[in-house]
Amino acid sequence: MAEAEHTAGRALANGKTRIDFQTAPARYRHWQLKVDGDVATLTMDVDEKGALFEGYELKLNSYDLGVDIELADALERLRFEHPQVRAVVLRSGKPRVFSAGANIRMLAGASHAHKVNLCKFTNETRNGIEDFSENSGVATICAINGTAAGGGYELALAADYIMLVDDGAAAVALPELPLLAVLPGTGGLTRVSDKRKVRRDHADVFCTTEEGVKGKRAVEWRLVDEVVPGSKFDETIVLRAREFAAKSTREAAAQGITLAPLARNFTADAVEYDFLAVEFDRAGRLATVALRGPPSQPPVSADAMLALGSEFWPLKLARELDDAILHIRLNELDVAAIIFKSSGDPAQVLAYDRFLDTNKAHWLAREIRLLWKRALKRIDLTSRSLVTLIEPGSCFAGTLAELLFASDRSYMLAATLASPASGGGVGRGGDNKPPANIALSDANFGAYPMPNGLTRLACRFLADPSDVNAAKAERGKMLDAETAEKLGLVTFALDDIDWDDEVRVFLEERASFSPDSLTGMEANLRFAGPETMESKIFARLTAWQNWIFQRPNAIGEEGALKRYGTGQKPVFDTRRV
Amino acid sequence: MAEAEHTAGRALANGKTRIDFQTAPARYRHWQLKVDGDVATLTMDVDEKGALFEGYELKLNSYDLGVDIELADALERLRFEHPQVRAVVLRSGKPRVFSAGANIRMLAGASHAHKVNLCKFTNETRNGIEDFSENSGVATICAINGTAAGGGYELALAADYIMLVDDGAAAVALPELPLLAVLPGTGGLTRVSDKRKVRRDHADVFCTTEEGVKGKRAVEWRLVDEVVPGSKFDETIVLRAREFAAKSTREAAAQGITLAPLARNFTADAVEYDFLAVEFDRAGRLATVALRGPPSQPPVSADAMLALGSEFWPLKLARELDDAILHIRLNELDVAAIIFKSSGDPAQVLAYDRFLDTNKAHWLAREIRLLWKRALKRIDLTSRSLVTLIEPGSCFAGTLAELLFASDRSYMLAATLASPASGGGVGRGGDNKPPANIALSDANFGAYPMPNGLTRLACRFLADPSDVNAAKAERGKMLDAETAEKLGLVTFALDDIDWDDEVRVFLEERASFSPDSLTGMEANLRFAGPETMESKIFARLTAWQNWIFQRPNAIGEEGALKRYGTGQKPVFDTRRV
């Protein structure tokens, strides 16, 4: 990969060599975050010249990944820095336009992998808006002052309440199909059918009408909740925000913490964080994510946790893990498999789980759990083979044990007869690490549902729910490899003699397979059981969109994405598949 | 399209110019159907020289669409001609091999559209096997005497009970990923995870192990239900078949009917059946499917229905409709939209619905309803825009009204003020047809669930279930355009003045859009609400498989499908998406 040309298929702007998911309000170029009492306003005012890549301008509040990274950051700030906020207003800073959606020239020039990963990230951000409402009690009101087209309307669809100005011009639209021959793939179709529950034939008309729907019909067809005359728009926004804030369950008096910038050190083949390190084996196409257990006991009280702020181990580790996964997803496309390892004291991890559980009514403990939930879901949805290696000295307990269950496979090193059974001398190479153990906590049985709504253990043991209960009975105990295997918690328990070969063969095999078929297989096998709106977005909708993103009718030289804006009509292969 | 080259991308064998879905046991080349008392045996013994297309041989019980058409026919015969059958044994006629799955050379040479439609049809056939068990009480036992690989094992997965011979060699395998860089896309991944409920990490190992799994591990991992020593294989099959037959709820004494060959007349731009006609507008890329209502009153009794046999109107029409849809799907790829029209007396259609309802305990009435259910599901899953035009003289009532709700849109012609309101003179062009009415029956409220398990009306009115009740209250009444629109049953009620232009513009627009994005949009908007295993197969699994079927790693010159059997290894683009 040439330094100048990013994996996205074109050069990053301003000479950058990687996409950075870390930002802060003072550095935003596209959003303003204003907090006024218990109501926050997120204003989208995209800087045309602030594109992530070279070669296009972000006109009409259109967006690229860089714009959405700021939105995602702003939402994290609202969760952690402004816990007194009880309602969010989402609006545009530009006159007569809300948002034109994903930038078309950006899409037309982006690699397939970048398009897919951009959509995945924006989907996750929008799901996060809904999670903020459902689980933190902070509803979002979207105030549409003009055209909300494509991804612009899809952003609105993530809100709890959509207001549209009634000025004879403002409209909501999903023009992707008639205009670009692709789908409203950032949740649009699914939220129209499953969240807004728009009647299917109305949805058909809406999604094929380039100019969209406005005024009374937009309400009748359930596309928006309210149309408001322009003269009353601002005062109605305030009114609705107050109504939603009044209904919020969030504590009004909470004091926030500051999310300090993550300390990171990027080198050629590694990224070093405080509690986590990523190492790349370029030849083997592997990334090893090594997590470090707690450096000390949990704090003595919720106040002590607050005082630690973003230094608090579970919070910092979750932020680092999330950043590392996003970095691999968007900047390290050649990685075939992610290997999770850990080091530390499993008993300490369990102690932190107990601490969070004891303080679960506290807003900060709750937000930390929700952050872990979202970070783990992001791992579920990461299109790389996932494997956890459980070695001596590791600490896959409680919350960290979720990585085992999120993995496609896990390998656990068993203490062998040849190893001394007592003391700390068991393990590979005769070092002093304690033998490999895993442990479960209450957190494994409800705190972290997958996108399909099941806990990872319930999904794993779909065949026989009594296996979940058998695992539950062992909470808090240190489980050695034999026990873990018997309980079905690990894939393979191996002894010292087999370990190196088995793991090596597996990793080599994984790197030898077609990356696409692995993506498809993992997307199917990881999500047994029910589907939710969220999982439907990533399965049904995303899979179809990815298919269309490969089809010549969209991306070919005569396709709609390439021809858009050239004055030439696209030419389609008319055969239906 | 050249006559010699079929839309599948290669020439049909034996100089044929279209794929024919009609066959009969006497003409089978690949299957034997043997009925012995209440147990039927379906033996797969594929004729190597009997491929549907030129250019490959069907070795090792591998299959192409032609093989599966025979299987689908055999299952229909079991339903209608052998109602005394209470269990089915599925086995191989070849020694030491059950089935090698879909023929790889066929896949490598097939067009994208053919691959996708082949998988869709085979999925429907396998879903039909499960429906036969669930709703007709006829379980299938699959007896695997050797290798069951890929589509071979996927066929086994459709059975209720899988037996594997324990001879040290016989194995079940899904080698698609390691061997061909595609997915087990005929339900395989979904049935492994959601039906067999194989633990996710075991499934990961299984689906990446070319040689598959055999013996005890196959049982432990839930891949098969039983392994049986070769010496006891045959007697155990008989035993299991008797056990399942004994549990069946199907009447033991029923006498079957004969499914007579459908009378069809193919001309250049039309297909004429007895109760149905298809007309092609090549320039407009339209197919009009015109259904004819009952030619007479329903029979006076169930015995009279039996005596009519396959001439009985609802049965014959369902078979014709199913055949017509399959013909369009596989042979008429350029058709953008299917237009449903009808002619006849809606009151008569309601009378037939009442007759079937009154006799619903009769096996034949039940099987006819189940056939309509499957035919309507096939329409739901047909990747063409669907529209129903409700004109004067039409008979979209009860069962036939389901076509309205299966359509992406419907247009209904309203009697205008300018038209005489009384007598038979209302309608377009002043002819003598009665004004357009639709009507509902009990059948619209439960008999025909969609693949997602909802009735079409429940899915349509997801936002407000009371709309379903409002429609239910109008059962049996003739509903004019205004009433139908008010009840939300039609998309647009138009008067004479607007009709021609509105319909024309819609159809032209539909033909102008990218076929791929229409496929993706319709696949999302048609299935609001829950997902079932069946709908997951067509959404999550199929959509990913279709994506992979477009990726160079599978179908490129250096891809796995193209390189298979050449001795050259495939070369993959290693970037994960």
Q: DSSP string covering B403-465, please?
A: HHHHSSEEEEEPPPTTS-SSTT--SGGG-SPPPP-BB--GGGGTTS--TTSS-HHHHHTTT-T
Question: Using a CB-CB distance cutoff of 8 angstroms, which residues of chain B are in contact with residue A383?
Answer: 576-577
Q: What is the DSSP letter of A541?
A: I
- Across the interface, which of A177, A517, A547 has its CB nearest the CB of B181? A517
Amino acid type, A271? V
327-346 in chain B: CB under 8 A from chain A: 333-336
C-alpha span between A9 and B110 (Å, rounded): 31
Question: What pLDDT score does A5 carry?
Answer: 61
Report the residue of chain B nearest A558, measured CA to CA: B514
Cβ contacts below 8 Å, chain A against chain B, sum to 286
Residues of chain A with C-beta less than 8 angstroms from the C-beta of B573: 515
Of the candidates B131, B127, B176, B129, the residue with the CA atom closest to the CA atom of residue B150: B176
Per-residue pLDDT of A499-516, as tens digits, reads 999 999 999 999 999 999
Residues of B in contact with A538 (CB under 8 A): none
Residue B526 has its nearest CB partner, among A200, A511, A521, at: A200
Enumerate residues 379 to 398 of chain B having a beta carbon within 8 A of any beta carbon in chain A.
383-384
Kindly tell me if the per-residue pLDDT of A422 is higher than 90. Answer: no
Cβ-nearest to A540 among B117, B198, B540 = B540
Contacts of B205 in chain A (CB under 8 A): 409, 491
Name the residue in chain B with its Cα closest to that of A177.
B517
- pLDDT, tens digit, for every residue of A51-101? 999 999 999 999 999 999 999 999 999 999 999 999 999 999 999 999 999
In angstroms, the CA A20 to CA A251 distance is 33
> Which among A201, A520, A576 has CB closest to B515?
A576
- H-helix or E-strand containing A271? strand A270-272
**A561 contact residues in B (CB cutoff 8 A):** none
**Which of residues 491 through 510 in chain B touch A, CB cutoff 8 A?**
491, 509-510
Closest among A55, B563, B556, B135 to B573, alpha carbons compared: B556
Paired sense of beta strands B147-149 and B97-99, if any: parallel
Tokens of A426: 């068991």
The predicted pLDDT at position A467 comes to 98
Q: Which residues face A412 on adjacent strands?
A: A390, A493
Q: How confident is the model at residue A415 (pLDDT cuts 50, 70, 90)?
A: confident
> Residue-wise over B298-316: b if at least 16 C-beta within 10 A, else e?
bbeebeebbebbeebbbbb
In B195-312, alpha helices (H): 200-207, 215-220, 233-247, 302-308
Burial of residue B523 (number of CB atoms within 10 Å: 0-12, 13-18, 19+): buried
Lateral strand order in the sheet of B97-99? B97-99, B147-149, B172-173
Cα separations (Å) of A435 from A94, A413, A418, A479?
60, 8, 13, 10
Model confidence band, residue A280 (pLDDT cutoffs 50, 70, 90) = very high
DSSP B118: H
Query: Which 3 state secondary structure label does DSSP give A226?
Result: strand
Percent of chain A with pLDDT over 90: 93
- Distance in angstroms (rounded) separating the CA atoms of residues B532 and B540: 11
**Neighbour count for residue B322 (Cβ, 10 Å):** 22
- Average pLDDT score over chain A: 95
- Residue B571 near chain A (CB below 8 Å): no
- Residues from chain B contacting residue A527 (CB–CB below 8 Å): 193, 540
Rounded CA-CA distance B65/B122 in Å is: 8
**Cβ A383–B577 below 8 Å, yes or no?**
yes
Residues B532-553: pLDDT tens digits?
999 999 999 999 999 999 999 9
pLDDT above 80: residue A429: no
Q: How far apart are CA A521 and CA B181, in angstroms?
A: 10
Instruction: List chain B residues with pLDDT less than 50.
Output: 1-4, 417-427, 429
Determine phi and psi for B410, rounding to 5 degrees. -140, 145
How do B147-149 and B172-173 pair as beta strands? parallel
DSSP reduced 3-state for A98: strand
Count helices and strands in chain A by DSSP H and E runs: 22, 19
A28: its two tokens: 């935003």
Biggest CA pair distance of chain B: 82
Rounded average pLDDT over A385-389: 98
Alpha-carbon A130 to chain mean position: 13
In chain B, residues with a C-beta closer than 8 Å to the C-beta of A573 are 515
Residue A3 has pLDDT above 90, yes or no: no
The token pair that represents A257 in the structure block = 């913490």
pLDDT at B416: 64
Q: Which residues pair with A90 in a beta bridge?
A: A42, A142
Residue to mutate among B211, B411, B516, B555, with most A CBs inside 10 A, is B516
What is the DSSP annotation of A42-85? EEE---TT--SBSS---GGGEE-HHHHHHHHHHHHHHHHT-TT-
- pLDDT for B19 equals 97
**Which residue stretches of A281-345 are H helix?**
302-308, 313-331
pLDDT, one tens digit per residue, over B468-523 is 999 999 999 999 999 999 999 999 999 999 999 999 999 999 999 999 999 999 99
In angstroms, the CA A61 to CA A30 distance is 9
CA distance A461 to A384: 23
Query: Which residue from B177, B491, B530 is facing A201, i.e. has the nearest CB?
Result: B491
Q: What tens digit of pLDDT does each residue of A6-19 get?
A: 666 789 999 999 99
Q: Which helix (H) or strand (E) holds A378?
A: helix A363-380
* Residue B172 distance to chain A (closest CA, Å): 18
Scan residues 275-294 of B and list those with Cβ closer than 8 Å to A.
285
Give A462's contacts in chain B (Cβ within 8 Å).
Answer: 193-194, 197
Could you tell me whether strands A161-166 and A139-144 are parallel, antiparallel, or unpaired per DSSP bridges?
A: parallel
